Structure 1
Amino acid sequence: HPQLDNMDRSWADRSPLHDAACQGRLLALRNLILQGHNVNVVTIDHVSPLHEACLGDHVACARALIAAGANVNVTTIDGVTPLFNACSVGSVSCAEVLLENGAKPQALVFQPSPIHQASSKGSSGCVETLIRWGADVDFDIPHLGTPLYTACVSQAIECVQRLLREGANVQKGRYMESPLHAAAEKDCTAIVKLLLDFGADIHARNIEFQRPVEAAPPSSLTEGFLLVYEATPQPLSQLCRQRIRDRVGRDRFHLINHLPLPNPLRNYLQYR
């Protein structure tokens, strides 16, 4: 996908609107709109001025284009949306504006996915925004796996934390490869600990029939940590927390706040 990060842009067929949006020149953009320039003009690769504004994190330009009738769900020839571009650069403000104006929070399976892009780039703000607007936290794309798996591969710990708190299935990765396998393979002990706190299965086997400890680099910190973890009984408090969260169910996590429990217990159940 040469167009995914819009690096391979065609300059010959760009309009003045594209240039103003790309450079964040709001006054010039507004003048062009007033002069009657079409806000939905696209290049040969179907890149719109709104794509450019979002890729540059120019929220005021994005807002002006949308107010003038720009299509928020326009796609390039590679299926890239302005929302995908906003997530590429971690622009929560552009993502919010797009979603407030009807952008679809989730791509189709064969299109570049905003939540996977935000997870791979480490933008936990965009991940949180997308989920709040209805993106599936466990959206599974065959060649990428889930957003959680993507975040583990990219070692984006804040995204891993956000996805888990929002109820991502800790066991779902890419095909038989679990998020724990991905984190172990990357020797990212902090993410391994986090996944285990959320109930990751230390005995899960991947397609090569390896457990996460066997996927970790030999003699690494993560391998040592997993060997000790395997040999140590889990605290009852940890097992109880996982059991309660399983019983509550992801769709009702927000109700934990309303349970008649002491604050420390509520915070513990919510990993706060």
Structure 2
Amino acid sequence: MRAAERGHRGVVKELVRRGADVDFKRPNGSTALIIACEHGQFDAVVELVNRGALIELADKEGYTPLITAAQLGYSDIVQFLVNRGANMNARLPSGGTALITAAWYKRLAVVRILVDNGADTSICGDFQNWSPLTVAYFSGYLELVHLIYMQTLENENVSQPSPPEAPIVVASCNSIATKSRNGDTALRIACERRDLKVIKTLLRDTYNDLNLPGGYGGFTPLMTASEDCNPDVVAILLEAGANINLKNGDGFTALSIAAYRGHLPVVEILLDKGASVDMLNTAGSTPLLLAASNGHANVVDILLKGGANINFQNGDGHSALSIAANLGHLAVVEMLLHKGASVDMLDTAGWTPLMVAAFNDHENVVGILLKAGATVDAQRPNGTTALCIASERGHLSVVEMLLEKGASVDMADKKDNSPLVAAAWHGHANVVDTFLKARVSIDNGVTDQNKRNTPLIRAAGKGHVGVVALLVKEGANINAQSLHGSSALLVASEYGFLDTVTFLLEHGASIDAVDKDGDNALLLAAHSGLDGVVKTLIEKGLSVDFTNNEGKSALLNAAMEGHRTLINEDQTEQLHCLALARMVISKLSSF
């Protein structure tokens, strides 16, 4: 083997004469012949074959002497092995042949030898199960493409073009437009790599379908060229007869792909050649909606000039304007409004473009929409307005813009949340302060029995002590109660916001307030197991023996909920039994 590796023909000859096993294998399966092929030792190869070495014996990776020499480009060895009858179509475990391997590694001389001697050009394998022609193209070697392509035509006896009424269809997997097993084609790959020379060469095969999709997105060559913004290739493909309105599996056409990517030159060509401007993809989007979603104002303009439906809505009711407003694409919003888009069109959830812009804090878009006449107090089915939405999200600049345009501060949603309540509930002190400076009713019409909560109660229930302090400072009724009787102190105690409880008590909140169930702050805190709040309330004078409408005390509440840290050890067993007894009585009374 060492002699074969170094090309010592005489040594090889002598060793074999003395009885050396010519086909002995190393642990990796290599024989002396494979080693000689691997190192390009032609003389050693000749000697070994002449001495009876098996030319089809492969190593453990499946490499025969021929495949080994083909991969490394040793054309003299390949020619010799072919002349001695080597199987040119022997395959690696991956399916590759000597021809596929040579094509991948750009071994032109080897490919020519194999093709001239009848290697099967229809076998697909290796490199994602591509045909030799696809492999040749992907190698980027134009001469390889020409060589294999012409051999394919010769092998299949393709004559000069037949009359149109009786075309000859090439069925081999080597056809330029026929898919290889992974679904790709040589032409689509050529378009992806922007190789005009190869594309033109491949398009000379007039009998192949250049509309076949390939690749992982199911793109046709035209779609690929459109995605890559190659107007020259797009023009060539259209001239060759590419189907301009064909869709891939997701419903994308070449136009929708180009519009989505913002490729203006391609969009212009496709529209000029008659592409359908409003074709939907499977998600229900038109090219206009796709262009708007990515902020391509110039493409939006061209599509509108090409007749795109400016107010088309997808399955969710989103129009190009609402999509652009949602994503903050100011230039697109301006373009659409200038072209007459409906400014108040609702989506299926009842959102207007103004609402979605307010939700996402796109203040520039909000300004443009208001200037264009958007209805400032439009309401969703749940009663929410743009001002409520911006207040809830804490978008101060948008809130100020809406107030300046006269947005109603009193319009509440169906849960009676006004803009001020929404801001207080979510702890947006700066927005709350803005409303107070605008002299919004600080107690949210607490005397109106249809109202459930004041801004102060909402803020206290979330522990927003900063907002609580601001509202109290500005004169909020600290003891106001909701329909259920909840006060700011009661909800803060129930949810364990000790700093809020402390602040309220220090600023005059009634410690004796009870709700309609008869629960006071201590009972609510004990029920929730809130040690710190319970301790504070007891220190402030609330009795542990106070009972609610059901006769439950704070101790009993704690016991029933299993909050042992709130109960003295000597009381635990007694209270636990009492709690169980009350639960049994409650169950029996329900029958």
TM-score band, normalised by shorter chain? 0.7 to 0.9
Deviations 1:200-228 (A, max 9, x none): 00010113311111111225211122122
Q: Identity over aligned residues, as a percent?
A: 26
Instruction: Give deviations 1:1-49, integer Å, cap 9, x for gaps.
Output: xxxxxxxxx9922111111112222222122112445321223864211
Q: Map 1:107-146; keep pairs closer than 5 Å.
A: 107-108=279-280, 111-146=284-319
Name the amino acid aligned to 1:87: A
Partner letter of residue 198 of structure 1? A
Shift of the alpha carbon at 1:136? Answer: 0.6
The CA deviation at 1:88 is 1.6
In the TM superposition, 1:69-218 aligns within 5 A as: 69-108=241-280, 111-175=284-348, 176-216=350-390, 217-218=393-394
Aligned match of 2:211 in 27, 36, 40? Answer: 40
| Paired residue type of 2:356 | A
**SS of the residue 2:344 aligns to:** coil
CA–CA distance in 1 between the matches of 2:327 and 2:335? 14
1:156-204 superposed Cα distances (whole Å, 9 cap, x missing partner): 1111011111100001141321000011001011000101111100010
Query: Structure 1: which amino acid aligns with 2:376?
Result: I
Matched letter for residue 269 of structure 2: V
Structure 1 residue 109: Cα displacement? 7.9
1:61 counterpart (212, 228, 233): 233
The 2-side partners of 1:11 and 1:218 are apart by 55
Unmatched 5+ residue regions in structure 2?
A: 1-179, 409-591
- Offset at residue 229 of structure 1 (A): 2.2
The one-character-per-residue Cα deviations of 1:80-133 (angstroms, maximum 9, x if unpaired) are 111111012101111111111111000248543211110000001111111111
Q: TM-score when scaled to structure 1?
A: 0.77
- Structure 1's 52 and 219: CA in aligned 2 closer, same or farther, altered over 3 A? closer
Structure 2 counterpart SS, 1:230: coil
For the 8 Å contact 1:106–1:135, the answer to whether it is kept is: yes
Cα distance in structure 2, aligned partners of 1:150 and 1:219: 20
Q: Deviations over 1:219-248 (max 9, x none)?
A: 52111221222169xxxxxxxxxxxxxxxx
Query: In 1, are the aligned partners of 2:387 and 2:407 still within 8 Å (CA)?
Result: no
- Cα distance in 2 for partners of 1:113, 1:222 equals 30
Which residue type is aligned with residue 295 of structure 2?
G
Quick one: distance in 1 between partners of 2:355 and 2:260?
Answer: 25
**Is the contact made by 1:140 and 1:146 (CA closer than 8 Å) also made in structure 2?**
yes
Q: Give 2:209's aligned amino acid.
A: N
Q: Specify the code of the residue in structure 2 equivalent to 1:127.
A: V
The 2-side partners of 1:231 and 1:123 are apart by: 31
Contact 1:180 1:192 in 2 (8 A): yes
Q: Which amino acid in structure 2 is aligned with residue 152 of structure 1?
A: A
Look up the match of 1:31: 201
1:109 and 1:206 mapped to 2: Cα distance?
28
State whether residues 148 and 168 of structure 1, in contact with CA within 8 Å, keep that contact through their aligned partners in structure 2.
yes
Contact 2:263 2:299 in 1 (8 A): yes
Do the aligned residues in 2 keep the contact of 1:23 with 1:56 (CA within 8 Å)? no
User: Using the alignment, how far apart are the partners of 2:399 and 2:351 within structure 1?
Assistant: 17
Q: Aligned partners of 1:23 and 1:161: how far apart in 2?
A: 37
TM-score (norm. length: structure 2): 0.36
- Judged with a 3 Å threshold, the aligned counterparts in structure 2 of structure 1 residues 160 and 174 are, in CA distance, closer, same or farther, namely same
- Aligned residue in 1 for 2:405: 229
When the two chains are superposed, the root-mean-square deviation of aligned CA atoms in Å is 2.1
How many pairs are equivalent? 223
8 Å Cα contact 1:145-1:174 kept in structure 2: yes
Between 38-47 and 133-142, report the one with greater CA deviation.
38-47
- The counterpart of 1:49, out of the listed 208, 215, 221, is 221
Q: How many Å separate the matches in 2 of 1:27 and 1:125?
A: 31
Q: Distance in 2 between matches of 1:27 and 1:218?
A: 58
Contact 2:326 2:356 in 1 (8 A): yes
Amino acid at match of 2:371: D
Shift of 1:144: 4.9
Q: Which residue of 2 aligns with 1:246?
A: none
